[in-house]
Structure 1
């Protein structure tokens, strides 16, 4: 069996964040998929079956909480860990409401991002 690239999806409508995160994660050998909205989220995620999902709170159109809840309600997708990120001060409770496994407060530094992802896939 060849080594399977770890796949990650970033849901964020901020192009700067997407490009920085993509760059960093690709350096670490991830296959990175990015979306600027979470419409048809079940189809998007099912088509890729990532190892980890990064979800922004303010993602158009349904918002990160509802998008994450949809994933967690889907039997084929609910095992995929979601990292919830937001600049809100109550990110901890937002992530909990969404059902996300963990969270990252914005602005985050790239080491924090790496730490959070590595903890999840260990």
Structure 2
């Protein structure tokens, strides 16, 4: 599965490593501008987006809203990471979006990714 990770901290590098070890193709973008560029690449969007809620140049929720407004990515599965949440939850936006609090357990992360991949 092709996964785009938009995360500006060491967590992003850890996620890329974990995803690659689990057999996924993972790309890391360290801010919203680079992330949006990768999302709108002519090759097409990834199969899963892992998005940090707080980025140096963007609010992850705003980026998610922008993504949902684009018909090419309206139903892209998204895992949003945030230090504000304490457990996983779904956003009530009618899409395949989950929220996972930081710090997170790697097995819980794998379970959420697996669930999003199955759609």
Q: What TM-score, normalized by structure 1, do the two folds share?
A: 0.82
Alignment counterpart, residue 8 of structure 2, candidates 5, 13, 18: 13
Shift of 1:89: 3.7
How far 1:101 sits from its partner (Å)?
1.1
Helix, strand or coil: the match of 1:39?
helix
Aligned pair count?
A: 115
Distance 2:87 2:59 in 1: 14
Q: Work out the CA distance in 2 between the residues paired with 1:112 and 1:96.
A: 21
Query: What SS does the aligned partner of 1:53 have?
Result: strand
2-structure distance, mates of 1:104, 1:41: 19
Q: Can you list the C-alpha shifts for 1:81-119, whole angstroms capped at 9, x where unaligned?
A: 11111010488799447x761111110011111000000
Name the CA shift for 1:13/1:38 in 2 (closer, same or farther; >3 Å). Answer: same
**2-side partners of 1:121 and 1:94: how far apart?**
15
| 2:80 corresponds to | 84
Match of 1:37 in 2: 31
- 1:70–1:91 CA distance, 2 compared to 1 (3 A): farther
Match status 1:55 vs 2:51: yes
Higher helix share: 1
Shift in CA distance, 51/93, structure 1 to aligned 2, threshold 3 Å:
closer
- Is the contact made by 1:8 and 1:50 (CA closer than 8 Å) also made in structure 2? yes
CA contact (8 A) 1:65 1:95 kept: no
Q: TM-score, normalised by structure 2?
A: 0.84
